Amino acid sequence: MAVRLLIFGRQGAGKGTQSTRLSERYGAPHISTGDMLRAAVANATPIGLEAKSYMDAGQLVPDEVMLGVVEERLAEPDVVEHGFLLDGFPRTVVQAEALGRFATVDVAVDIVVPEEVVLERISSRRVCGSCGRIYSVQAPPERDWTCDTCGGEVVQRADDTPEAVAKRLAAYASETQPTIDWYADAGLLVKVDGLGTPDEVSERLTAAIDAHLAR
């Protein structure tokens, strides 16, 4: 059965980890906005080239171009056969309405983590500058902020400062939250508590999705 899923969650809610797990569980390709754009550009499709012209100019890819990229990706055979797990799109109500014109969504999941918990998680996060491995103040590398995997320097990311995080959370509240509410109004939303271990959260997620799909 091809399952068509959307995943929402604030940065720091564990969306990346859970997306990987859900994609495996349901056999649906995990499609993130960034990967999709990179692929469209690499494949030099007409819409990919258009997106590239904005990216090269350091501009945001406009909605209508992004929609073209999404529509193109969702028409590919792996999606037609296995469904999709769309991550990072739609971000706005306008995008959600447009997506509905060419794709059916079975379930939209929202991983709910209180803002103060997300802030705490992000501000304690540290990352290896060489290989990208993630650590935290609570779970540092074994030796003096030197990566256990590659020996690189483990630091705080420049965009993980409290000011930058607050800005991203505000954008989420003003744009993405209304989009989540839009899916709730459409009867497609499943909300899951994102607190606890990754295993606990993924058990909750699959139970809630299965229950929704069985309706």
Catalytic residues: 15, 91, 125, 157, 168
Closest distance between Zn ion and the C-beta of residue 148, in Å? 8
**Is residue 147 near Zn ion by the rule CB under 5 A?**
yes
Let me know: does 106 contact 3? Beta carbons within 8 Å: yes
**Is residue 174 near Zn ion by the rule CB under 5 A?**
no
Work out the burial of residue 213: count CB atoms within 10 Å of its CB; fewer than 13 is exposed, 13-18 middle, 19 or more buried: middle
Of the candidates 17, 43, 53, 130, which one interacts with Zn ion according to CB under 5 A? 130
SS3 171: helix
Distance CA 140, CA 81 (A): 42
Distance CA 162, CA 133 (A): 21
Residue closer to Zn ion by CB (options 42, 150) is 150
**Is residue 141 near Zn ion by the rule CB under 5 A?**
no
**Is residue 155 near Zn ion by the rule CB under 5 A?**
no
Of the candidates 128, 180, 189, 201, which one interacts with Zn ion according to CB under 5 A? 128
- The count of residues interacting with Zn ion (CB under 5 A) is 8
What's the order of all strands across the beta sheet hosting 125-128? 134-136, 125-128, 154-155
Residue ranges in contact with Zn ion by CB under 5 A: 128, 130-131, 133, 147, 149-150, 152
